[in-house]
Each structure stands twice: as C-alpha cells, then as structure tokens.
Amino acid sequence: MNSNPVVKLFSSLKLTLFTLFSIALTSIIGTVIPQDLPQSQYINHFKPATYKILHFFGIFDMYHSWWFLALLALLILNLVFCSLKHYKTTYNRAFKHNALLTQNIEKTILNKKEIKIPLKKLKIENIENFIKKEISSSFEKNETNGETHYFINKFKFADFGYYIVHASLIIIGIGAIIGSIWGFKGSINIPVGETKGVIFLKGGGIKPLGFKLKCNDFKVSFYKNGSPKEYKSTVTLIDSGKIIKKDIEIMVNHPLAYKGIKFYQASYGTTGQKVYITIQDRITGETVFNGAVEVGVPVKTNNPDIAFVIQRYSNNFQGFGPTAQVVKLIKGTPKKAFYVFKKFPKFDSQNRNGKFIVFLKNAEFKYYTGLQVAKDPGVNIVWFGCFLMIVGLCTAFFLAHKKFWIRVSTDNKKATVLFAGSMRKNRLNFAEEFNKKFEILKNYLEA
Amino acid sequence: MTSSSLFSIVTFIYFFSFFFYLLYFFFRDKVTSKLATFSAFAGLIIQVIAFFMRWKESYAKGFGHIPLSNLYESLVFFTIMTVLIYLIIEFYYKIKVIGAFVMIFPVLTLAFCSLYVPNEIEPLVPALQSNWLTAHVVTCFLSYAAFAVSCGISILYYLKMKFPKKFHFIPSLELLDGLIYKSIAIGFPLLSLGIITGAAWANYAWGTYWSWDPKETWSLITWFVYAAFLHARFTKGWRGQKAAFLSILGFASVLFTYLGVNLLLSGLHSYGSI
C-alpha cells in the first residue's frame, strides 16, 4: 500500500499540515472582505481589473468557492487515508498483546520492578486483590511452566480517540452536505393581518411551503436606554384550509417548527403607509388638497406646474414625532425637499416660501414581520458528529492506554514477583504512577 | 460598594501579585512567592464575589442576567478564568516561576478595561436572551484561559532556551514542553465545545449553525492552528521550540478571535465600538 506514490501523498502528515494552514490562512480573506453582498457593491468598490480577479477566484463567496471546497475535501481525504494507514497498528496495539511476560518482552519494557518474598508468605489472592482494587477489575491470568502471568489491558479504547474525532469530522461533513442538498433557507415577510405561504429562497427564486402563516400581530418593545427588548410575532398556522394552531408566538430564540420547517424571528418593518396631508394656498387660504396619499405618488395642486410627493414618512424622526419628507415638483426646475411635522403645524409656513403650505395631519401604517425560514434534514447528523467529537477528544486527551504485567515465579524457598507496566505517551508521569503502584503491591504482598 | 469599584481594587491586587511573581522570578525568595500566590488567590476570590454582585446589581436594575453579555463583562470573566486555571496548575505542579508570565494577562486586561471599556450594566438584546449564552461563553473563555497559560509557558520556554545559564532556575525544557501540551490538551476540547455550543445557539436563534461570520471563521482558524500543533506533535514529534512557537501563534489567533474581530471587523458578535 505504501509504495503507491498517490497513496503516500494523501496519507502524509505534511499534506495535513499544509491543508490545515492553507484553510486557516485563506479563511482570513473572507473575514476581511464582506461576503455575499449584492454584486453592484463590489463593482463600485473595486477597480475593474481587481474585481475580475477576485470574481474569478470566487472571493465574494469564498467559503463556497471551488478551491475552498477542494481544500476541505482534501482535508477529509487526507484524514481518511491517514486513518486507514495507521488503523492496523492501532488495532494491534490495543487488542493484540502478549499476555505472557516472557523474557523477550521484559526487555522491551521500561518500567519494571521485582520483589522477592519467602514462599510461605506468597498468597496469590493478595496479588489478585491488588489488581482488582488498584488497576482494573478485568485481567487475564495464565499459568505456564510453573509461572503465573497476569496481564491487564486498561483503557485499550483510548488509542481510538483520534479515530473517533476523525470520524466525527466526516459525519459533520455528511450532515452539512445533506443539509445543503435536501434543505433550504429563505425568508418571508408577512404584514399584520395578511396570510402568506410562499418564501423567497436565499439563492434566489421562490418556494411554496405547502401551508400558510397568518400574521395576527407584531410588537417591538424597548428598554429605557432605547435598546430593543423583544420582537414578538403572533401567527396562526393554516394547513389545507384548516387552522392548525392559533396565536403562536415567535420571538428571537423562540422559533416555530412545523413539518420540519422552522421559522425564526429575524426582522421587521412597516408597510402600506398612508399619509394624510392638507395643502393650502398661502395667499387665499383655500384648501387645494385634503386627504390620504401614498408614499411616492405625486399629488397635484390647482396649479398644473406644481405637484408634491411624499418621499419618506417616519413615525418619530429624530425625536420630533411624526414627520414627512416632502418634495416639491415644479416643471423645469430642480426638485426641492423639505420636512413637515405633525407636532409643529406652523413650521412649514414659517420656514419656506412658496405658493402652497403643506400640513401633516396623520399617518397610517402597519408592521410586517420578517421571518427566516429554514429546513435542514442534516442538522441532527451534525449534532451527532459534534457529540462524537467531544467524546473522541476527551478519550484522546484524558484517557491513556496502559498495560500492566505481573509474573510470579517460584523456587523451593522464595517467590519472585515481577511487576511491569507501559504507556505510550507521557512517560514521565507514568513512571511516577508505576512506582506508586509498585509500593502498594509491596504492601499487599507483605500483608 | 459596587462591583465596579471592587473590580478596580482587584486590578491592583493582581498587579501586586504580578509584581511579587516577578520578584520571585529574579530573586527566588520564598516569602515573595507566598505573597504572590496569596494575592492572586485573594484577588480571585474578591473578583468572584464582584462577579456575583454585578449579577445581583443587574436584577436591581430590572433586567437581571448573568454578567457575560458585553465586552467589559467578558474581559472580566476572561481574567477570572485565567487566574483560576493558572492557580490550579501552580498547585498541581508546584511551579511558581510561570506566575509572572501568566499574571501579566489579567493585569493588562483589567487595566485596559478600567481605562477604555464602558462598564455600565446593559440589558440583554433579544438575540442574547438564551440559556445558551452561559454554556457558550463559559466554555469559550475557559479555553481562552487555558491557551493564555500555554502562551505564558511558551514565552518562558524561549527565555530558558536562549539563556539557559541565566535562567537555570526555570524548570527543565522538557517539563515546560509537557505543560504547554497539557494546557492545550485542556483548551482544545473546551474550544471545540465552545464552537459547538455557539453553533447550536446560532441554529436555535437563526436557523443556521454555521454562517461563516468573521467570529465563527476566526474561531475555526484558531481551532486549525491548535489542531496543527497537536498533529505535528503526535505524528512528527514536533516538540520544544517549534511547539512553543505554534502555541504562541495559536494564542495570537485567540486574541484576534476574541478582540480583533469585535473591534476591527463587523459581524454578529460586535460589542459596539469603544
């Protein structure tokens, strides 16, 4: 297997380090250049040549660009090859062992100590009690050539921690792919009182949900310092003409779930504004217009050359209360914009010259609630992968595979007990642990 | 007495602790070493009391929440975690010369806090009103603290390596190397858990567990740097100088994830400007 150069490349640690650092370094780009904005913003910001290069490399949505996905795929591939390459060694280390402490094995072990006691004093159950109490309840016992061998294989699964972590990354990847193929993300804006069942997908296009939501109410509340306290939508869920549930509250951190689709409180706004204004002739005092107008629709006066259009309406403009931004349209001259306030009816007549005075009387508008809509059939697989990752990391870092041997050999007068132990990592600490265990074993034997 | 004034007092106590650790580093006098540990411990206890006081004060304001919601509170929590993890390592391994190299972080952080960071108790905006807040912040900051400790030890490693005669009293390079690994072995699973709890929360609040927001991306960059550290160590046997370098690089990435992203880039985690 190792002779194949392709296999060699894909299972090399150099590739792992290269990929890890490449992903880490290139990821920085996307945190500096804002991602996934409308194209026009990038065109305005960059020179045409720079724009072309950045566009070619997909920098404006770099985490989904071909080369970034290729790097992620390379990492996964590398991880699979490495795991396959080393699996057999790890497996053998964990499960294939010499339960007999022969002299050949004895030579290879760093930590070993011997104790000799008179044969009369030797009680085999003392040794077994020591193993059960101090090391592990499960051990292997063999008797050959008049010698008794004990073998304890403790935390043999610890060596597999890394494989669990690697497997978890693959599982998370699978979950993410399932989500991106069979799931969708989108948004829906529902004005209060209206019912809607079609969402706008994130990548463009629309999608009917197969059921409908009616927005009964939307409320936003604020703390004293002006920061938002709560956004709350109240909706009714309607499926095939039947009301499934009434008065469901959707808030931030309180989504609604139905048929695998989830709705999240994301934004809000106002819609359907009607502004009531009066236009008066300054000289004659005659009312030339009195009624409701829509934002952006011009209002004619009795002078065919002059019209007014409300450009914007705000319920509370810079603390001045209801305010409208009005534009005066005169044929052949540039537009002129000015403000009128409901609270200050004299403001317009005092601050602006001209034939007509505009009064803001009232305004009607309603809120719409903006909901994020998401379906992700892969999400539970992702959580399972995350759970496995933590299990794997804890196994890898906090458990260590340890092996202990005890060999009891006897002659006419005395018994020789040889205690040996090995652990692959952290040799300094293990030596200390081994010595402590040996002292305890001595106490057991001399009891 | 308010929690804020207690936090200022703690800044001075930590400074004394740092100063004593530094004295101990140069003169290895037993009394100063005891004073250093004592003041670090006393500071920690006062700080934990102040933490709970601030929690209570927020209820008095009518919008009670655990003080983990803005830049000031998170920096304070970071210092609590760093001192806690450091003291655990000191008691466990009985090594005091690292002290000055770790205590410098809480001292600088708290000084920065009291000079530049607004410390008002603010109500929670809707996105933060979640039980995930505590789990996410605690795991992230425990990992940051563990990485801060490993960075401090790495600096010590470089000192010992460059001037072995001058710093003969610094524990052996082998021991330092082991400690660097151990603090990263604690930090890495915690960082993973921090990222996972953040993803779970994001999924619960917005319906997306990963959106390549700058904070998320930088936490992943940090994760990759430490993953590289671990792989290089386990399979290539990168130890000593190379490992110490990667550990310092990793902590630089932690600092950028934590502060750089919020102060320099925009995204979901912005604390607002200072």
Instruction: Answer whether residue A313 is part of any domain.
Output: yes
Is residue A352 domain-shared with residue A381, that is, in the same domain? Answer: no
**Domain range for A50:** 5-87
Structure tokens at A211: 């059921």
Is residue A376 domain-shared with residue A349, that is, in the same domain? Answer: no
From A87, A106, A123, the end of a domain falls on A87
User: In this structure, are residues A444 and A438 in contact, taking their beta carbons and an 8 Å threshold?
Assistant: no
Please judge whether A176 and B210 are an interchain contact, meaning their C-beta atoms are less than 8 angstroms apart. yes
Cα distance from B125 to chain A (closest Cα, Å)? 6
Q: Which of A33-42, A197-206, B98-107 has the lowest mean pLDDT?
A: A33-42
User: In this structure, are residues A369 and A218 in contact, taking their beta carbons and an 8 Å threshold?
Assistant: yes
* Per-residue pLDDT at A315 exceeds 90: no
* Per-residue pLDDT at A159 exceeds 90: no
pLDDT per residue as tens digits for the range A252-285: 989 999 999 999 998 888 777 788 999 999 888 8
What is the reported pLDDT for B139? 94
User: In this structure, are residues A234 and A190 in contact, taking their beta carbons and an 8 Å threshold?
Assistant: no
Q: Cα separation of B25 and A397, whole Å?
A: 31
Is residue A62 domain-shared with residue A111, that is, in the same domain? Answer: no
Is residue A373 domain-shared with residue A263, that is, in the same domain? Answer: yes
DSSP B121-147: --PPPGGG-STHHHHHHHHHHHHHHHH
Q: Quote ipTM for the complex.
A: 0.88
Is residue A353 domain-shared with residue A304, that is, in the same domain? Answer: yes
Instruction: Answer whether residue A172 is part of any domain.
Output: no
User: In this structure, are residues B96 and B31 in contact, taking their beta carbons and an 8 Å threshold?
Assistant: no
E strand or H helix at A327, and its extent?
strand A323-330
Please judge whether A393 and B210 are an interchain contact, meaning their C-beta atoms are less than 8 angstroms apart. no
Is residue A229 domain-shared with residue A292, that is, in the same domain? Answer: no
What is the reported pLDDT for A2? 56
User: In this structure, are residues B261 and B218 in contact, taking their beta carbons and an 8 Å threshold?
Assistant: yes
* Per-residue pLDDT at B270 exceeds 70: no
Share of chain A above pLDDT 70, in %: 99
Q: Please compute the mean of the pLDDT values over residues A375-393 and round it to a whole number.
A: 96
What is the reported pLDDT for A371? 94
E strand or H helix at A310, and its extent?
strand A306-314
Cα distance from A132 to chain B (closest Cα, Å)? 28
Q: Please compute the mean of the pLDDT values over residues A99-117 and round it to a whole number.
A: 86
Q: Please compute the mean of the pLDDT values over residues B204-210 and round it to a whole number.
A: 89
Is residue A293 domain-shared with residue A356, that is, in the same domain? Answer: yes
Is residue A300 domain-shared with residue A346, that is, in the same domain? Answer: yes
Tally of residues, chain A: 447
C-alpha distance from residue A231 to each of A254, A393, B129, B198, B207 (Å): 10, 39, 12, 22, 17
60-79 in A: which are within 8 Å (CB) of B? 63
pLDDT band, very low/low/confident/very high, at B145 (cuts 50, 70, 90):
very high
Cα distance from A278 to chain B (closest Cα, Å)? 40
| 3-state DSSP helix/strand/coil % of chain B, to nearest 5 | 80, 0, 20
Question: Cβ of B27 under 8 Å from any chain A Cβ?
Answer: no
For residue A150, list its beta bridge partners: A141, A406
Question: Cβ of B240 under 8 Å from any chain A Cβ?
Answer: no
* Per-residue pLDDT at A112 exceeds 70: yes
Residue from A31, A166, A177, A429 whose CB has the most chain B CBs within 10 Å, to mutate: A31
How many domains in chain A? 4
Q: Is B45 helix (H, G, I), strand (E, B) or coil?
A: helix
Instruction: Answer whether residue A161 is part of any domain.
Output: no
Bigger pLDDT: A75 or A353?
A: A75
Q: Please compute the mean of the pLDDT values over residues B94-116 and round it to a whole number.
A: 88
We report the CATH number of the domain holding residue A436 as 3.30.2030.10
* Per-residue pLDDT at A233 exceeds 70: yes
3-state SS record for B85-117? HHHHHHHHHCCCCCHHHHHHHHHHHHHHHHHHC
User: In this structure, are residues A322 and A315 in contact, taking their beta carbons and an 8 Å threshold?
Assistant: yes
* Angle between helical axes of A161-182 and A66-95 (0-180°, round to 10): 150
Q: Is B46 helix (H, G, I), strand (E, B) or coil?
A: helix
Instruction: Answer whether residue A168 is part of any domain.
Output: no
Q: Cα separation of A30 and A41, whole Å?
A: 16
User: In this structure, are residues A113 and A101 in contact, taking their beta carbons and an 8 Å threshold?
Assistant: no
Main-chain phi, psi angles of A281, to 5 degrees: -75, 125
Instruction: Answer whether residue A197 is part of any domain.
Output: yes
Q: Cα separation of B214 and B226, whole Å?
A: 18
B100 class by beta-carbon count within 10 Å (0-12 exposed, 13-18 middle, 19+ buried): buried
Identify which of A275, A280, A314 has the alpha carbon closest to the alpha carbon of residue A298. A275
